Amino acid sequence: MPLITSADAYLVDIPVETERTDAVQAFLKQETIFVELATDDGLRGTGYSYTIGTGGRAVLSMLRDHLLPRLVGADARNVEGLWRDLFASTRATTVGAITSLALAAADTALWDLRCLRAGEPLWRLAGGHRRSVPLYDTEGGWLHLSVADLVEGALGAKRAGLRGVKIKIGKPRVEEDVERVAAVREALGPGLDLMVDANQSMTYAEARQRAHALEPYGVHFFEEPLPADDVQGHRELARSTSIPIAVGESMYSLGQFRDYLQRGAASVVQADVARIGGITPWLKAAHLAEAFNVAVCPHFLMELHVSLVAAVPAGTYVEHIPQLRAVTSTELTVEDGHAVAPDTPGLGLDWNRDAIDDLRVS
């Protein structure tokens, strides 16, 4: 019986690799919360979650003060039971972002242990549907970039063989967004997917106007047009446009995904493993999407999501935003426009421990 003998958490600030802006915020740094679990059979599992600049210390406190002490002495193999126990112990703060992020850091460490013990990579142990998945680029599509910069980024992604490009929208005038989308579509041609992302910045009226204006450009999906808690607004918008509506990066429980899918308010599910509370609930959201015949294209965390998207039949795309190169020794493998899931046992992340120590927050 592999019992957990120690459970530790710490915070690391990873600087962003390039300036990143959208219609509501700037991504200034990645507060990365690590969890390390050791078992009495000599294994050590590492998990993590993140914020984009605020709340990292609150997540760390939730782990240290409430969650991790419950794991010491537990059987590390009982991942589902441990997730449920941790969740139940935080009833006063669920469903909420801080709790979900803390749960995710612990849960991903448990999954790392599970895969290491089995001698299997995450993509296989989580389902094993396929080894590689299509990759689309977001790194060249930030809102502060000029039209010329957007076109350059799109052409670079095309030359690299990526299967799609996403750009941020939400400029003050519809015409500005249309100009940007039209220029990128012309650069890409008809053979690549083009996505847009409003980051919850619009009213229903604004989003409906944007969607109608962008329909001629073959938009693959329209991401987070409205605030994430506006299920009815997304439902009405989905009914008013031919562009598929994508949601999920700002949703923190399986029930929220159920509500969207039951009401026909989403055509693409973008569950983020950190924000939904870990791999355990992420897989449930992915299988729920499959039951509704809806694609899964998760938000961010490409280094981890590649294995999860590869694991499930509904997995469709991985989003290209490099962010862990400062603390890892290897990079995401890309072949013919597809991200290839790591085949080494565990989560598949080759952590650079020295670099992590250098960036640790005291």
Give the active site residues.
Answer: 168, 299
Bridge partners, residue 209, by sequence? none
Dist CA 158 CA 248 (whole Å):
26
Radius of gyration of the chain (CA): 20
Residue in the structure block whose two tokens are 């992915």: 286
Distances (CA, A) of 197 to 46, 153, 193, 326: 32, 16, 13, 26
Which residues, including other chains, have CB under 8 Å from residue 358's CB and lie 6 or more apart? none
Q: Write out the E strands in 185-313.
A: 193-197, 219-223, 245-247, 268-269, 295-296
The candidate with the shortest Cα–Cα distance to 240, out of 214, 217, 262, 258, is: 214
